[in-house]
Amino acid sequence: MSVLVSIPIYNEQKYVRTVLDEIRRFANNILVIDDGSTDDTPLLLARQPVEVIRHAVNRGYGRSIQDAFRWAQSYGYDWLITIDCDEQHEPASLPDFYDRIKLENADVISGSRYLDAQPQSTPPPPDRQHINAIMTQTINAHTNLQITDAFCGFKAYRINALKEMTLTEPGYAFPMQFWVQAVAHRLQVVEIPIRLIYKDPNRRFGELLDDPAHRLTHYQDALDRELAKFPEIFARRHCPQWEPKQDKLSQDISAATTAIT
């Protein structure tokens, strides 16, 4: 079974060499998506024995993942694994994904930083933990998924399972679109534990998304837009028995927005 490991990168000159050196210990087929880096990342990538797609300008995390999907489909890979380049995902966990792939009973294998309580370096900022928790809860309630970490970028995807998807969300709200379509297309989703590592509490999302309240609203809007595309599947949101749960979610989101402003 052929597996491609893809790394979305934006201005990661501090980490790119050490991360790629470590990934090469566990992977032979590596694709980097350089999302318009303006530091020395492109120069450092030119010295690495990896495939590179370079965006002329920053197009967003979601667009980078979509480009990785297209590359894997075009070159006939069976699986794609995505891993971040900021040393918050451990390449040493790649064999855990390989082992889970071999069981051949999943379409999406998603890393979770919350399945196992393990020691961590620096805790994520409270607003990031809070937003992850509330959006994970919201996604589960709407889709009947039982995931514990909606935003983890360390994932394995069965390429054939993605063929019917129409993924267009370019930015950090990409997981909102992906999870809805994964359920709509009946993909089998499993999680495996990875270690929670957070090295840079000052890391930015950029522009308006640096404001936590705006970020939460942005994610909720993206989720609502995607759910609306599949009314026949997610019609229970409009059923009387769904209304109390929907009201509770709305209250939770409102409370979360207030808490992080």
Can you read off the two tokens belonging to residue 167? Answer: 């993924």
Phi, psi (rounded to 5 degrees) for 10? -145, 115
Q: What is the DSSP string of 63-86?
A: HHHHHHHHHHHHTT-SEEEE--SS
Residue 83: exposure state from Cβ atoms within 10 A (0-12, 13-18, ≥19): buried
Q: What is the pLDDT of residue 127?
A: 86
Q: What is the pLDDT of residue 238?
A: 46
Q: What is the pLDDT of residue 140?
A: 95
**Which of 78, 89, 74, 75 lies closest to 19 in space, CA to CA?**
89
Number of H helices, E strands in the chain: 8, 7
Is residue 195 within 8 A of residue 113, CB to CB? The reply is: yes
Q: What is the pLDDT of residue 76?
A: 98
Q: Is 188 helix (H, G, I), strand (E, B) or coil?
A: coil
Arch. (CATH architecture) of 3-259: Alpha-Beta Complex (3.90)
Is residue 44 within 8 A of residue 15, CB to CB? The reply is: no
What is the distance between the alpha carbons of residues 82 and 68, in angstroms, rounded to a whole number? 8
- Extents of the domains making up the chain: 3-259
Which helix H or strand E contains 10, and what residues bound it? none
Q: What is the pLDDT of residue 205?
A: 76
**Which of 165, 195, 5 lies closest to 101 in space, CA to CA?**
5
Residue 205: exposure state from Cβ atoms within 10 A (0-12, 13-18, ≥19): middle
Q: What is the pLDDT of residue 254?
A: 60
Per residue of the chain (261 residues), what is the pLDDT tens digit? 899 999 999 999 999 999 999 999 999 999 999 999 999 999 999 999 999 999 999 999 999 999 999 999 999 999 999 999 987 899 999 999 999 999 999 999 999 998 875 555 567 778 888 999 999 999 999 999 999 999 999 999 999 999 999 999 999 999 999 999 999 999 999 999 998 876 666 677 777 888 999 999 999 999 999 999 999 998 755 444 444 455 555 565 566 555 555
